[in-house]
Structure 1
Amino acid sequence: MSRYTKEDIFRLVEEEDVEFIRLQFTDIFGVLKNAAITSGQLKRALNNRCMFDGSVIEGFVRIEESDMYLYPDLDTFEIFPWRPQQGKVARLICDVRRPGGQPFEGDPRYVLKQAIKEAADMGYEFHVGPECEFFLFHTDDEGNPTTNTHEKGSYFDVGPLDLAENVRRDIVLALEDMGFEIEASYHEMSHGQHEIDIQSAPALEAADKIMTFKMAVKNIAKRHGLHATFMPQPVEGTNGSGLHLNMYLTDKSGKNVFEDLQDKLGLSKTAYQFIAGLLEHSEEIALLTNPLINSYKRLIPSHDAPNYIAWSEHSNRSALIRIPPSEGENTRIELRSPDSAANPYLVLAACLAAGLDGIRKNLEPAASVDENIYAMSKEERRARGIKTLPESLEAAVKIFRKSRFSEKVLGSHIFSKYLEAKEKEWNAFRVHVTDWEVKEYLRKY
């Protein structure tokens, strides 16, 4: 059921003195874009008449087919709490469509909607609770971001060790003003690293909230004179930032179908099949869950980020999937590999499609791995059948290129554009001479 009608939006804009409305959408790499209009243009926007040039957005279309239209999702109307209260600024998240009104196949939101429809056809609704991690760093005298931080806080620390308590407080209050339900916020393991957990929601709403979360965090950090980054591994030798996803399915009555009180773990057959599907396709979708060259600096042993394809019935954080201690309507599984730079629309679509594939094929996961996989030898892992996620962007690209599953989920347009861009990214990095190489080799050779 919709939250708002067109009349509601007009009324809210007038009553709240909203002067500017940002029409937002996301490119295939998870970068938020927008076109700003004044309140006087709102009628045109709500009648889906706002057009933009899609050829200037990376991964969208060629110049000879560039006209695109923004179709606002009325339920996403929110006022930015951090902007001036006189002449307020609001936003509407939009779907991207072609001039004839057909959905644009290069719109990540459309890809997720297609996966959600597939789930609905099977009688399911997909729910996701994101755990969002990020770093707060100082800026230099010119306002450019650095990787410097004065604070030396660690996991769950409080002030004065945690110097960013007030920043997180302002972020949480702003998000709650925008309709978020925040489960927890706290200092994470690394210096300058923080986590805010968002209550689970249907998948499209969850993806929209992840994008909104990133925007809010960056804007509020800037107001405090800081730079917020969702780069997965900005600092060498410490824990990177993940986007852990807590997932479950409900049936048409709203019942959590992952729950089975007769099972020793409280998990249903459907839940085990979903887990098996995620494990089956985890290598193929790694380019989506971990999209940057830098992503694979996080996926290394001992930094609390899983690089081994296994699941654990206990809280074994060295496994790709773990089962958090919960029961009843809170029964869920947690996928730990995605990082904070991932496009949430594409990641949730891929995860849902993988899980549904496991259900359709009646797949069964291998035995739970409850030991520390980081401490196992190669021989032990081989004997247990534990494979490894790709260890570099190059390896992820090679697997993705051959994945008919990924192409089906994304559609040929996004699949080819995404692959082309990531191959270009790797080739650019491959020929780049890094500071490490100069330091290591210049004197020696």
Structure 2
Amino acid sequence: MTSGNITEAEQAVLDEIEAKDVDFLRLQFTDILGTVKNVSVPARQAEKAFTEGIYFDGSSIEGFVRIQESDMRLVPDPETFAILPWRRKEDSAAARMICDVYDTTTGEPFEGDPRYVLKQAIERANDMGYTVNAAPEPEFFLFEEDEEGRATTETNDAGGYFDLAPKDLASDVRRDIIYGLEDMGFEVEASHHEVAEGQHEINFEYDDALTTADNVATFRTVVRAIAAQHDYHATFMPKPIPKVNGSGMHTHISLFTEDGENAFHDESDEFDLSDEARAFTAGVLEHAPAITAVANPTVNSYKRLVPGYEAPVYVAWSDRNRSSLIRKPAARVPAASRIELRSPDPSCNPYLAIAVMIHAGLDGIERDLECPDPVRENIYEFDEQKREEYGIDTLPSNLGDAIEALEDDEVVYDALGEHVAPKFIEAKSQEFEEYLIDVSQWELDRYLETF
């Protein structure tokens, strides 16, 4: 039974708040740089949040608005309601909902809200007759904390890829993270120790693009919170330790038609890829340099994107090896046909990263771009001459080059929108400039006593 302007979904949330003795709600949103923000309100404010929204000062959020345009309104999405497993007590609980941000002046969705940017990409796909599904594979490191509770870069194990205990000493932490994720509605498919010491991966089920982006934001919060309960620091920094594999967030993506068929599947094709899938792939390859600015948005991201550590740096696709930017994974059933973009890392804003992937791929379909042949050899073993012979370009080698590629790419720039694109470029250009004028410990160790 609903009351007033409350929808059935909203009423279901209000009923659950009462049944589960929820006393506080975290209303969550994400800033342009991908940092999760939240406004905490008493649970009794839930109905007001649904009907009126909760107001906050947008000028205090990175890249949102200027001080004279500061009033923003959060409107919670009832489909994202979840109890926070690490905040549950005997007599009460806390919960969160992910919100859309609205401009109080116009009453319209705020163009600087990354969730809105992704919704616009999804709407473009819907207008073309497609729904978008995606699945990320976020990796992270678990580090010891020092006596004052600050993060170190000391790993707690000596495990390697798919190792078991006793080498994988963090298996209990991963177990508790998985339980926490499942409590929040995740369908976890697998978890394992990754290649580097202290590195882990947890994969969750394929879902629609918006739910997937919401899940990535939630995932990072859950991992950090539960790791902290075990006195570990979880980091999604792409390359926290030199000379070992960095953390990626390989992202699988596919399009489905309005009748529920996988638009990427064609069993008559050698690789089971449809014309749409090939054109989509071609679009992502063409716009890959600009996508990199969004999918690999930190100076540190480019310490991962180097040859020799299993991260893709070459703009090509393959059905069988992992040295290319895009891989076509084997699919047991038609619904599983998809492509895997291997460059993104978990420091990215998931809403913006998935949005630019969608727009790039749809641009390929709209323009009917021709997909190059797959490269089945190990590109890491190619010399420069052979890469030129195959027509294989490389991704930007640093954040500055990636930002320049974004500025020059009309499709990816427009995908971010006239609010987000310039704000994002401004913030990341400043970050790169600060990096260029900094003096690292490596430089001091190498040069201070030499010259």
TM-score range, shorter chain: over 0.9
Q: Distance in 1 between matches of 2:8 and 2:204?
A: 23
Q: Distance in 2 between matches of 1:49 and 1:246?
A: 34
Q: Distance in 1 between matches of 2:161 and 2:43?
A: 45
Write out aligned runs for 1:264-413 (5 A): 264-314=270-320, 316-326=321-331, 327-413=333-419
Deviation string 1:147-167 (CA, Å, 9 cap, x unpaired) is: 001310000000000000010
Q: Distance in 2 between matches of 1:41 and 1:111?
A: 28
SS at match of 1:71: strand
Question: Residue 400 of structure 1: CA displacement?
Answer: 1.5
TM-score normalized by structure 1? 0.98
The answer for the alignment partner of 2:40 in structure 1 is 36
SS at match of 1:337: coil
Deviation string 1:82-119 (CA, Å, 9 cap, x unpaired) is: 21233201001000001142010100000000000000
Q: Does 1:200 align with 2:206?
A: yes
For residue 99 of structure 2, what is the amino acid of its counterpart?
Answer: C
The answer for the alignment partner of 2:181 in structure 1 is 175
Is contact 2:156–2:170 with CA below 8 Å preserved after alignment? no
For residue 71 of structure 1, what is the amino acid of its counterpart?
Answer: V
Question: Residue 289 of structure 1: CA displacement?
Answer: 0.7
Paired residue for 1:11, among 9, 12, 15?
15
Q: Does 1:62 align with 2:52?
A: no
The answer for the alignment partner of 1:124 in structure 2 is 130
Is contact 2:53–2:76 with CA below 8 Å preserved after alignment? no
Question: Residue 133 of structure 1: CA displacement?
Answer: 0.4
Question: Residue 49 of structure 1: CA displacement?
Answer: 2.9
Is contact 1:28–1:59 with CA below 8 Å preserved after alignment? yes
Is contact 2:159–2:197 with CA below 8 Å preserved after alignment? yes
Is contact 1:115–1:353 with CA below 8 Å preserved after alignment? yes
For residue 318 of structure 1, what is the amino acid of its counterpart?
Answer: S
Question: Residue 294 of structure 1: CA displacement?
Answer: 0.2
The answer for the alignment partner of 1:437 in structure 2 is 443
Q: Does 1:88 align with 2:93?
A: yes
Deviation string 1:16-45 (CA, Å, 9 cap, x unpaired) is: 000000000000011000000011211211
Is contact 2:356–2:415 with CA below 8 Å preserved after alignment? yes
Q: Distance in 2 between matches of 1:407 and 1:158?
A: 44
Q: Distance in 2 between matches of 1:4 and 1:79?
A: 19
Is contact 2:360–2:412 with CA below 8 Å preserved after alignment? no
For residue 303 of structure 1, what is the amino acid of its counterpart?
Answer: Y
Is contact 1:48–1:72 with CA below 8 Å preserved after alignment? no
Question: Residue 358 of structure 1: CA displacement?
Answer: 0.6
**Greater CA drift, 403-412 or 345-354:** 403-412
Paired residue for 1:22, among 9, 23, 26?
26
For residue 424 of structure 2, what is the amino acid of its counterpart?
Answer: Y
The answer for the alignment partner of 1:133 in structure 2 is 139
Q: Distance in 2 between matches of 1:208 and 1:248?
A: 18
Is contact 2:55–2:72 with CA below 8 Å preserved after alignment? yes
For residue 227 of structure 1, what is the amino acid of its counterpart?
Answer: H
Is contact 1:258–1:267 with CA below 8 Å preserved after alignment? yes
Q: Distance in 1 between matches of 2:371 and 2:420?
A: 30
Distance 1:393-1:4 versus aligned 2 partners, 3 A rule: farther
Is contact 1:4–1:74 with CA below 8 Å preserved after alignment? no
For residue 62 of structure 1, what is the amino acid of its counterpart?
Answer: R
The answer for the alignment partner of 2:103 in structure 1 is 98
Q: Distance in 2 between matches of 1:360 and 1:346?
A: 21
The answer for the alignment partner of 1:162 in structure 2 is 168
For residue 141 of structure 2, what is the amino acid of its counterpart?
Answer: F
Q: Does 1:150 align with 2:180?
A: no
Detail structure 1 runs of 4+ shifted over 4 Å in the superposition: none
Question: Residue 4 of structure 1: CA displacement?
Answer: 5.7
Q: Distance in 2 between matches of 1:48 and 1:400?
A: 37
Deviation string 1:338-385 (CA, Å, 9 cap, x unpaired) is: 001000000110000011011111111111111111111000001100
**Structure 2: any 5+ residue segments left out of the alignment?**
1-6
State the superposition RMSD in angstroms: 1.2
Q: Does 1:249 align with 2:247?
A: no
Deviation string 1:127-151 (CA, Å, 9 cap, x unpaired) is: 0011110000001111110100131
The answer for the alignment partner of 2:3 in structure 1 is none
TM-score normalized by structure 2? 0.97
For residue 317 of structure 1, what is the amino acid of its counterpart?
Answer: R
**Greater CA drift, 51-60 or 250-259:** 250-259
Q: Distance in 2 between matches of 1:402 and 1:15?
A: 53
For residue 312 of structure 1, what is the amino acid of its counterpart?
Answer: S
**Structure 1: any 5+ residue segments left out of the alignment?**
none
Deviation string 1:285-317 (CA, Å, 9 cap, x unpaired) is: 111010000000000001010010000021x11
**Greater CA drift, 402-411 or 348-357:** 402-411
Is contact 1:321–1:335 with CA below 8 Å preserved after alignment? yes
For residue 38 of structure 2, what is the amino acid of its counterpart?
Answer: N
Is contact 2:256–2:263 with CA below 8 Å preserved after alignment? yes
